[in-house]
Structure 1
C-alpha cells in the first residue's frame, strides 16, 4: 500500500550536552540510539531523500511507515554518534551542510547568543566517507544567514554559492535545500527555485502529503529531551507537541467525530 503521508524528522547535533539550553538542539548518542530502535520497532522505516521527493512528484510509491531522517548544520557528532546505529539499520539519511563552514564550527550561533558553545563540523574527508555510508548531503546555504533579511544579491549568493560549492565537493548534483532557522517567505522561495533547487525544507511541523508545497516541506523538530515514546507520539500526531495530553486529545476528537450528530 502506498503511503498517504510521510513525516520528516529534523535533528541537529548528536553528542554530549553541556546544559539545558543546548538540549533543545542536541541529543545524546544513547538517546538517539533509543529513538532509532523505537522507531524501527514501531514499524517505521527510513527512506532516502530522492525517493521521498519522487513520491511527492508522483513518480514513486512508498510503503506505509516510511519516514525521512534529516540533520541540519553538518555536525561531526552525526558521523561519530548517529551513523553507527543508522548503518546497523541500513537506513539512509540526509545532512544539510553550511558550505562555507565545512571543517569549521557552527560560529553563526554567536550572532544570536554570544555565550553559546560551538562544536566542530564535518570536514571534506569525513563528508566523503559518509557519502559511502548511506548519507545524502544537501545545502543549508553558504553561511547560515537569515534569508528573508538579505538583499537580492546576497540571497542569490547564499543559495547558488552553496549549491555550486557542494556540487563540486560531492561530485554530485545538489538538489535540495533546508532554510536556516526555517525562515522562508515568497521572495526566498522564488530565489531558491531560481538557484536550481528542486525542493526545500522548512521547520513548520506536520505531515507531508503529495500536495505539500515542494518549497515548504514540513519537518518535525526532535529535541534532545524527547524520550523515544515522545518521538513516536510526535510522528503519529504530525506535531512538535508529543505530550500525552495532546495524544489523548487527538484520540478523543477521533472518537467524537464518529459519534452520531458530532461529525459536521
Structure 2
C-alpha cells in the first residue's frame, strides 16, 4: 500500500472503475482493490487500508458471512460500512465450482439464494459478481447479464482497459508468491491487450484438441513478439498471420479447465500487454 502511495497510484472504488470502463477512459495509474470471501482476516486488511484512506470492495461468500466461525460477523459488516469506503458485492451463496458445471440449474438456485441473503443484510440487490474460484462459462456469464449484474469479475490475470468486457473483468491476484514486491510491480506495469476474437472462445471447448490456440489482435500494428499460453502446456512463441497470433499442434487438453493467455510487447511503450481467458471440457 505504501508503494501505491509513493508512486502516485490513484486507488478508486470498484464502482468508479466500472464506470470508467463503461465510459471508455481509464486514467494511468488507476487501481481498485478487492477482497474475496469475507474471512475474518478481512479486518486485518481493513486496518491497513483504513490507515491509507483507501476504498475497497469485499465480495462475500453469502452462506458463511455472519454465520460461520472465521468469517466476518454482522458487527464487522457494520464497522466496515461505517468507514464509508467499503463496497459489498456478491461472491455466491455456497462457493461451488459452478463454472465447471454444464448444467446451470445449480448455479441459478445458488444465485437466487445469495441474492436473498444479500438483500437481508444490505437492503439492496448486488451490482457486481465475483466468480467462485474464478471459474466461468458462457452460460453463467449470460445468466448474470440477464439478472442485471453490471459487472462480473474473474480471476484471469490482467489489467483493465477501455476495451475490457464488463462481464469478464480480470483481476491481479496478490497472494502467495505473487504478493512479493517484484511481482507486484510487474503486475502494475502490465498493459491490457485488446483482442478482437478468442481462439478458442471462452467456456466449454467445442473441439478438443483445439485446431488453433490464440487470438485476433484488435490493434495488430501496435504489438510484436507475441506468445501464447495454455495452463497445462506453458508459454510458446506465437506464429503470426497478420492480426492472428496463435500456436498450433496443441494436443488433447487433459485438465478439466485451462487458462489461455496471449501476451505481446507494445512497440511504443516497450511494455508487455496481456489477456487471459478460461476454457473447460
TM exceeds 0.5?
A: yes
Is residue 130 of structure 1 aligned with residue 80 of structure 2? yes
Query: 1:55-70 residue pairs with structure 2 within 5 A?
Result: 55-58=20-23, 63-70=27-34
TM-score (norm 2): 0.64
Is residue 208 of structure 1 aligned with residue 160 of structure 2? yes
Equivalence for 2:239: none
CA separation of 1:63 and 1:132: change in aligned 2, threshold 3 A: farther
CA separation of 1:238 and 1:128: change in aligned 2, threshold 3 A: farther
CA separation of 1:237 and 1:169: change in aligned 2, threshold 3 A: same
Q: 1:223 aligns with which of 150, 171, 175?
A: 175
For residue 107 of structure 2, give the secondary structure of its aligned residue in structure 1.
helix
TM-score (norm 1): 0.67
Cα pair 1:204 1:218 within 8 Å, conserved: yes
Is residue 101 of structure 1 aligned with residue 64 of structure 2? yes
Query: 1:1-264 residue pairs with structure 2 within 5 A?
Result: 36-58=1-23, 63-79=27-43, 81-105=44-68, 120-133=70-83, 134-148=85-99, 149=101, 151-225=103-177, 226-237=179-190
Distance 1:132 1:178 in 2: 23
Cα-to-partner distance string for 1:90-119 (whole Å, 9 max, x where unaligned): 1100010011111345xxxxxxxxxxxxx7
C-alpha RMSD of the superposition: 2.5
Aligned length: 196
**Which has the larger helix fraction?**
1
Distance 1:92 1:64 in 2: 18
Equivalence for 1:261: none
Report how far residue 165 of structure 1 moved: 1.6
Report how far residue 137 of structure 1 moved: 0.6
Equivalence for 2:212: none
Report how far residue 170 of structure 1 moved: 1.3
CA separation of 1:213 and 1:63: change in aligned 2, threshold 3 A: closer
Report how far residue 151 of structure 1 moved: 3.1
Cα-to-partner distance string for 1:51-109 (whole Å, 9 max, x where unaligned): 111111118x6542111101111111111x1112211211100010011111345xxxx
**Which has the larger strand fraction?**
2
Equivalence for 1:249: none
Runs of at least 4 residues of structure 1 off by over 4 A? 253-258
Greater RCO, CA 8 A, separation 6+: 1
Cα pair 1:44 1:65 within 8 Å, conserved: yes
For residue 101 of structure 1, give the secondary structure of its aligned residue in structure 2.
coil
Provide structure 1 residue ranges, at least 5 long, that are not aligned to the other structure.
1-35, 106-118, 240-252, 259-264
Cα-to-partner distance string for 1:181-218 (whole Å, 9 max, x where unaligned): 11011001011112231110001111211221111101
Provide structure 2 residue ranges, at least 5 long, that are not aligned to the other structure.
193-264, 271-281
